Structure 1
């Protein structure tokens, strides 16, 4: 018997086993992301940590209590989260487990269409707006400062929010997981001296949030109707409809990030050259 081949085959099977487990864990996390079940997972992790620490330190009573919580918790979870479990199993049965990217891209396209509708309407009428889209960095600190909406993103909703003299028009709309999380939120103002003097508070807030997060922020000037985008501490001004649509697709649709990065660098370079020429003249 060739023991070396057997050992290699055994290692390969173990590797496949590990990959499958991690894939399943990842898919479960993606399923519960943005739902109340994610809070449950955090609670389970805390209970497990308490159990391990109490066992290691020798806190027998605490360890016994954690054992009971874990034993009966399985039944409680099934009862409390029965709708979520049923929905997840239905998704698996329909094969959506493997088409999640397609679903996300479809939602991203709907988001882009809604943003485009709102931007075109407000830009032409010079309605000031500040819209921030959460990317990878969480924005909970700033979401807490706004008025909760938790609504579908539509062009009509965004337009109504920023109509002058309405209760929610002053501040930022924050979009999280393709939903309007809050309106009238406060963003940190940038103290950079590089921001042109003619730009106001909205632009400083947009640059400010881009300095500390990777959020994508859209600004519409109420003086000129100019559309600007900030991200990763960079400000793009005077974006045409084609420019911002290409950028949105690159940032929000899976598989287009590299294309968007190159587009951002190209536009940013052109903008820098434009304003340098203006200063020289």
Structure 2
């Protein structure tokens, strides 16, 4: 067998070897360019489409094969250009700068989850008492590098004093959102996509719409502090919970971050670590969250409960199909096609 392999390698044309080498390098750099962005989720959707087309052709489902083949061949090219437009533009900019090797930082470790959540909730309480508006984005599985590039890079450890300084009115970075990866603030003054959900109360303005907009297009969790009322809100998975008590917000955020670990087992295997202590016992239900009179009826807004438009049904179906096949959390990047840009 070894002789056969040696014979194959020694008689391999140099053109073929060079071809394989170049193709490998290109594929590697493409993966590096989309890693840490929402393009990864869209890429999984296209991979599934091609996979289903090949399976249908193999088992001789002719009608399904014809349908999927029609979509997967000419339609895929158009879909890639449309769906990946922001990522393609970002990738070309990275190519121009020669930054192929940029890598994402480490995600939250299990033992650090509780400590980071406590820091964020303490910050939210302080800002709420002083009526300082804030947007704090906690990255989960979906990379937010493309969002982080809209702001100012920081790379500082999460502390209440740092976040209070950032959101103090009049400071250069107080407008926009901070992006938190693990226990590090990677960027501030970031621009988030606005939600177009028509069910949001008119009493909720740009800050809440931006939080819900990001929660609709990624799996990030977003803490919001209202500048007008001081209310603490939490956006996640296309939902917006408003007027939360600090302890309720803490339990919900903690359960979200620890749920990621229990489902995927990627960030630690110690069930007795500090992050897991009492996390699941106080997880609130949306309907049980008290609402003040001024925001009654808007404590829970779900993107999947919006009117059954073609876009809404397509998005809902793709998310459920993604979860059914276990590929990831959700195919959420499609909504980036319809996002707006928040105004100051």
Smaller-chain TM-score bracket: 0.5 to 0.7
Any residues of structure 2 matched to 1:94-173 within 5 Å, and which?
A: 104-173=109-178
Q: How many residues align?
A: 189
User: Shift of the alpha carbon at 1:263?
Assistant: 3.3
Residues 178-218 of structure 1: per-residue CA shift (max 9 Å, x gap): 21010000000011111110111110000000111110000
Distance in 2 between residues matched to 1:194 and 1:153, nearest whole Å? 33
Distance in 1 between residues matched to 2:242 and 2:194, nearest whole Å? 18
Any residues of structure 2 matched to 1:55-66 within 5 Å, and which?
A: 59-60=15-16, 62=18
**Structure-2 residue corresponding to 1:251:** 256
Structure 2: stretches of 5+ with no match in the other structure? 1-10, 26-106, 263-275, 300-344
1:150 counterpart SS class: strand
User: Shift of the alpha carbon at 1:267?
Assistant: 2.2
Distance in 1 between residues matched to 2:246 and 2:175, nearest whole Å? 24
Q: TM-score, normalised by structure 1?
A: 0.59
Distance in 2 between residues matched to 1:56 and 1:141, nearest whole Å? 42
Q: Any conservation in 2 of the 1:226–1:237 contact (CA below 8 Å)?
A: yes
Structure 1: stretches of 5+ with no match in the other structure? 1-54, 70-100
Distance in 2 between residues matched to 1:56 and 1:195, nearest whole Å? 63
Q: 1:267 aligns with which of 279, 286, 294?
A: 286
1:237 counterpart SS class: strand
Q: 1:240 aligns with which of 237, 245, 252?
A: 245
Q: TM-score, normalised by structure 2?
A: 0.49
Q: Any conservation in 2 of the 1:152–1:179 contact (CA below 8 Å)?
A: yes
Distance in 2 between residues matched to 1:263 and 1:57, nearest whole Å? 62
Residues 140-161 of structure 1: per-residue CA shift (max 9 Å, x gap): 1101111000111111111100
Distance in 2 between residues matched to 1:248 and 1:58, nearest whole Å? 56
Answer with 55-64 or 174-183: which moved more. 55-64
Aligned-residue Cα RMSD (Å) equals 3.5
1:238 counterpart SS class: strand
CA, structure 1 residues 213+261, in 2 after alignment: closer, same or farther (shift >3 Å)?
farther
CA, structure 1 residues 56+133, in 2 after alignment: closer, same or farther (shift >3 Å)?
farther
Distance in 2 between residues matched to 1:243 and 1:267, nearest whole Å? 10
Q: Any conservation in 2 of the 1:236–1:268 contact (CA below 8 Å)?
A: no
**Structure-1 residue corresponding to 2:197:** 192
1:168 counterpart SS class: coil
Distance in 1 between residues matched to 2:194 and 2:237, nearest whole Å? 15
Larger Rg: 1
Residues 17-68 of structure 1: per-residue CA shift (max 9 Å, x gap): xxxxxxxxxxxxxxxxxxxxxxxxxxxxxxxxxxxxxx999724616978xx
